[in-house]
A and B are shown apart, each in its own frame.
Chain A
Amino acid sequence: MFGTALVVFREVLEAALIVGIIGAATRDIPRRSRWIAGGIAAGILGSLAVAGGAEFISKLAEGMGQELFNASILGLAVLMLAWHNIWMSSHGRELAANAKRIGGAVREGTSEMSVLLVVIAVAVLREGSETVLFLYGIAAAPDSSAGLMAVGGAIGLVGGVLVGWLMFAGLLRIPLKWFFSVTSGLVLLLAAGMAAQAARFLIQADKLPSLATPLWDTSWLVENGSVLGKALQGLLGYDAQPSGMQVIFFVTVLVAIAIGMIWANRRMALVRPSPTPA
């Protein structure tokens, strides 16, 4: 039972942290809960579909279908997070200031949320499909004490969701002055980390060279398989022994999005100079 709880907890954790960050980052967008719930629901449905089609996906691309699938959906999430952060650096402050009054903000908030719905769905899908296969395996075992395992799975699920909620609640306590900097910083790291994970799958599929593996080794500090390692992997793509290619992906995406954010911010400042006379 405990083993089941731990496996499910580790799987749920990553997705829950991502949902927690996005929930906080979008707190001023109207009707965001509905979008987030939609993303989670889509992710769960997708998990069932991917778990059901696991064999089919595996056989694609000469047996590398799973890796390419994972890399593609991670890549999609990176694009969406990049869009979110760049959008937020031009509209975020204005959105917070005027809260829910502006009709335009509602409309733009909708396109913004549909982008994040995809990110949430992807996060849930990635971890969810593995959880479904794992639980199915337990349920199908002839000697399984299925009841106990179900309890274990439920404990793991609740535990993971709780950590995600703590992330959300903790972020909301950050004063507004720093709030956007903190959440966009987290989303930036999230995107870079996902890019690094996508690189790992492409290396695994033999589509990319790994370049200098490992570049360094911090296993003595935080092991990949530990709960903390898993959490850090979800948040910033932590890998105790990263390959050169993973680091290149991480840095490239980080710098590219940061430049986009600075550019969007400057452009907004030009379009709408501050009301105080110079």
Chain B
Amino acid sequence: MLRFIAAAFLAASVSAFAADGDINVVIENHKFTPDRIEIPAGKKVKLVIDNRDATAEEFESHDLKIEKVIPAKSKGTVFVGPLKPGEYKFVGEFNEKTAKGVIVAK
């Protein structure tokens, strides 16, 4: 129960946080939602990227040194951090014009 309350509190305070601490990001129409993800600085965080498009996407961030292909209609997991406070850009390499976002570590 306590855990549930804590989780609910966490979910309410940081909207991008899922209940279990994972952060869910959706790719749809070659765009990321949310495209601005806030995470705590100095902590390792798990991002679950849900590609709902009919084509593969490559989640790529030079700032974060991540490069991961997310096949069509499937989910991919990436670990981020621990990061210093700051902004870290990421893109969908296969659709760089529309698929852009930023991770903000605070």
Tell me the A residues contacting B by CB distance below 8 Å: 3, 7, 54-55, 58-59, 62-64, 66-67, 129-130, 133-134, 136-138, 140-141, 200, 203-206, 223-225, 239-241, 243
Counting CB contacts under 8 A, is B26 at the interface? no
A66-B69 in contact given A58-B74, A204-B78, A225-B62 (Cβ < 8 Å): yes
> Do B77 and A137 touch across chains, with their CB atoms under 8 A apart?
no
Contacts of B55 in A (CB 8 A): 133, 136-137, 140-141
> Do B97 and A7 touch across chains, with their CB atoms under 8 A apart?
no
Counting CB contacts under 8 A, is B65 at the interface? yes
> Do A133 and B68 touch across chains, with their CB atoms under 8 A apart?
no
A223-B77 in contact given A7-B93, A54-B69, A130-B69 (Cβ < 8 Å): no
Interface size class of B (residues with CB under 8 A): 20 to 34
> Do A133 and B69 touch across chains, with their CB atoms under 8 A apart?
yes
> Do A54 and B56 touch across chains, with their CB atoms under 8 A apart?
yes
* Complex Cα–Cα for A59 and B62 (A): 24
Tell me the B residues contacting A by CB distance below 8 Å: 44, 54-58, 62-63, 65-72, 74-79, 93-97
> Do B65 and A58 touch across chains, with their CB atoms under 8 A apart?
no
A58-B66 in contact given A130-B58, A137-B55, A137-B56 (Cβ < 8 Å): no
A51, closest chain B residue (CB): B56
Contacts of A140 in B (CB 8 A): 54-55
* Complex Cα–Cα for A250 and B78 (A): 23
Contacts of B93 in A (CB 8 A): 7, 130, 134
> Do B74 and A133 touch across chains, with their CB atoms under 8 A apart?
no
Contacts A/B (CB < 8 Å), 9 sampled: A55-B71, A58-B69, A58-B76, A62-B77, A63-B76, A133-B56, A137-B55, A137-B56, A239-B65
Contacts of B78 in A (CB 8 A): 204
* Complex Cα–Cα for A190 and B76 (A): 29
A141, closest chain B residue (CB): B55
B103 CB to closest chain A CB, in angstroms? 14
Tell me if A's interface is mostly helix, strand, loop or mixed.
helix
* Residue among B63, B71, B77, B79 with the highest chain A CB neighbour number at 10 A: B71
Residue in contact with A3 in the complex, picked from B57, B67, B75, B96, CB distance below 8 Å: B96
* Complex Cα–Cα for A140 and B69 (A): 17
A10, closest chain B residue (CB): B93
> Do B65 and A136 touch across chains, with their CB atoms under 8 A apart?
no
Contacts of B71 in A (CB 8 A): 54-55, 58, 133
> Do B56 and A136 touch across chains, with their CB atoms under 8 A apart?
yes
User: Across chains A and B, which 6 residue pairs bring their CB atoms closest together, nearest first?
Assistant: A137-B55, A224-B62, A55-B71, A133-B56, A63-B77, A54-B71
B100 CB to closest chain A CB, in angstroms? 13
> Do A58 and B70 touch across chains, with their CB atoms under 8 A apart?
yes
Residue in contact with A204 in the complex, picked from B65, B69, B75, B97, CB distance below 8 Å: B65
Contacts of A66 in B (CB 8 A): 68-69, 76
Contacts of B72 in A (CB 8 A): 55
> Do A204 and B68 touch across chains, with their CB atoms under 8 A apart?
yes
B90 CB to closest chain A CB, in angstroms? 11
B92, closest chain A residue (CB): A137
Sample of 16 more A-B contacts, CB < 8 Å, known A3-B97, A130-B69: A54-B69, A58-B69, A62-B77, A63-B75, A63-B77, A64-B77, A66-B68, A67-B68, A129-B69, A133-B55, A133-B58, A133-B69, A133-B94, A136-B55, A141-B55, A204-B66
B83, closest chain A residue (CB): A213
* Complex Cα–Cα for A206 and B82 (A): 12
Contacts of A200 in B (CB 8 A): 65
